[in-house]
Amino acid sequence: MTQAPPVPLHMRRDRFDPVEEMTRIREDEGVRELETGYGARAYMVTRYADVREVLSDGSRFSNAGAFRPPDDTRTDAERDRDRAGNLLAYDPPEHSRLRRMLTPEFTVRRMRRLEPRIVEIVEDHLDALARSGPPADLVSGFALPIPSLVICELLGVPYADRDEFQDRTGQLLDLSLELDLRRRLARENREYMSALVTQAQVDPGEDMLGMLVREHGHDLTTDELIGIGELLLIAGHETTSNMLGLGTLALLRHPDQLALVREDPAATAPAIEELLRWISIVHTGVVRTTTTEVEIAGTRIGAGELVFCALPTANRDPALLADPERLDVRRGAPGHLAFGHGVHHCLGAPLARMEMRIAFPALLRRFPQLALAVPYEELSFRAYHFVYGLRALPVTW
């Protein structure tokens, strides 16, 4: 095992905060060219208005860029197969074609129909915690299993396979691991989803894979079905779980705000938006490729260059709201970019919001004395991961 490489600048944080250098870049030049850690240089955009502009202009900032790492030995056909169905790797109109098949599944109303089942899942996990603790690890006992079970049921993935796929995707997104290992895991992940898709093609169930086969099977290739399934499974459990873990910790560090979320049902929705903004678990969106020469914050960037957006600094830009470094769950933070912006805005945002809206107050009401079981300084954050999070959150009550 070689030593882990240094954490790329855009992923460096001091617990909840972007490191000072990132804030300085936003205040000074706004855009900086740097090494991404993927074997390429890219321009990092840090200000709120600039990030919004980049993310909403797919014609100048393309998601379907031709970038490939220097040691990528795949043929063009293999690359095409690997990105098939991955909505984040396409621009309109190809992107719109795929997204349109999925939008009816994630409407606000459809999410409300899931509510009773999510409540049940949350209560089951709280019961299990109450039986086995205190103490307990809130990541493995609450934050990770709840969104995992929800996406498994929604998508049609056997929950019994959770250890296997959680472990695999966790490593897949860990940028400190060697590229060869991550590529092998990506292949395994694909084979796993391929088997589920084959099963759905033979006997389509009532879940989302079944729906895609039934309603769009004539239009989607098998590779596309696999790609969509992989993306939804990863995005469905790697994101909300980290928000539940980090969000609980953030509230534990701000007891007056925790009390508000516990006691006032009307406080939950705005609190979730503010937690999304303040924590910004996704360091950057998917890298974009310029299709023409552009100018951002006075920096000229040529055509064919890589550009990526630093979401935590954009979400703490005083141009978005006053006193941005402070967590204040009362303000609601409309306009934050934690789910991205533009046509690639998180498809699962209504589901994530629903899960958090149920899980946070339920946890805090079940365990009103919830507290850290270890000193704050000893908590371990996932520094190298594409999605920021906690390795564990030991609590007592």
Partner 1 sequence: MTIVADRSACIGSGMCALTAPAVFDQDDAEGLVVLLVAEPEGADARAAAEAVQLCPAQALSSAERQRSSAEQPGE
- Give the footprint of partner 1 on this chain (CB under 8 A): 56, 96, 99-100, 103-110, 334-335, 339-343, 345-347, 349-350, 353
For partner 1, which is the closer residue by CB, 51 or 138?
A: 51
Rg of the chain (C-alpha set): 21
Cα gap 49→30, rounded to integer Å: 11
Q: How far apart are CA 190 and CA 198, in angstroms?
A: 12
Structure tokens belonging to residue 142: 């609450």
Cβ pair 139, 391 in contact under 8 A = yes
> In a 3-state reduction of DSSP, which class is residue 283?
coil
What are the residue ranges of helices labelled H in the chain?
20-27, 48-56, 76-83, 94-102, 108-132, 138, 145-155, 162-172, 179-202, 208-216, 222-238, 240-252, 255-263, 268-279, 311-314, 349-366
Q: Which is nearer to partner 1, 273 or 305 (CB)?
A: 273
Nearer Cβ to partner 1 (48/165)? 48
User: Which of residues 96 and 199 has its CB atom nearest to partner 1 in the complex?
Assistant: 96
The least distance separating partner 1 from the CB of residue 215, rounded to whole angstroms, comes to 11
CB of 164 to partner 1, least distance (A): 31
CB 105 to partner 1: min, Å: 7
Cβ distance to partner 1 smaller for residue 105 or 223: 105
Q: How far is the CB of 103 from partner 1 (least distance, A)?
A: 3
Of the two residues 59 and 369, which places its CB atom closer to partner 1 in the complex? 59
Cβ at position 322, least distance to partner 1 in Å: 17
30 and 50 Cβ atoms separated by less than 8 Å: yes
- Mark 318-344 as b/e (b = at least 16 C-beta within 10 Å): eebbeebeebbbebbbeebbbbbbbbb
Smallest separation, CB 342 to partner 1 (Å): 6
CB of 347 vs partner 1, minimal distance in Å: 8
Strand partners, 385: 174
Judge contact between 95 and 87, C-beta under 8 A: yes
Query: Closest separation between CB of residue 211 and partner 1, Å?
Result: 13
> Which are the contacts of 387, defined by CB distance < 8 A and separation ≥ 6?
173, 238, 239, 242, 281, 282, 283
> Measured over all CA atoms, what is the biggest interatomic distance in the chain, rounded to whole angstroms?
60
Nearer to partner 1, 351 or 370 (CB): 351
CB nearer to partner 1: give 100 or 330. 100
Q: Phi, psi at residue 158, to the nearest 5°?
A: -60, 125
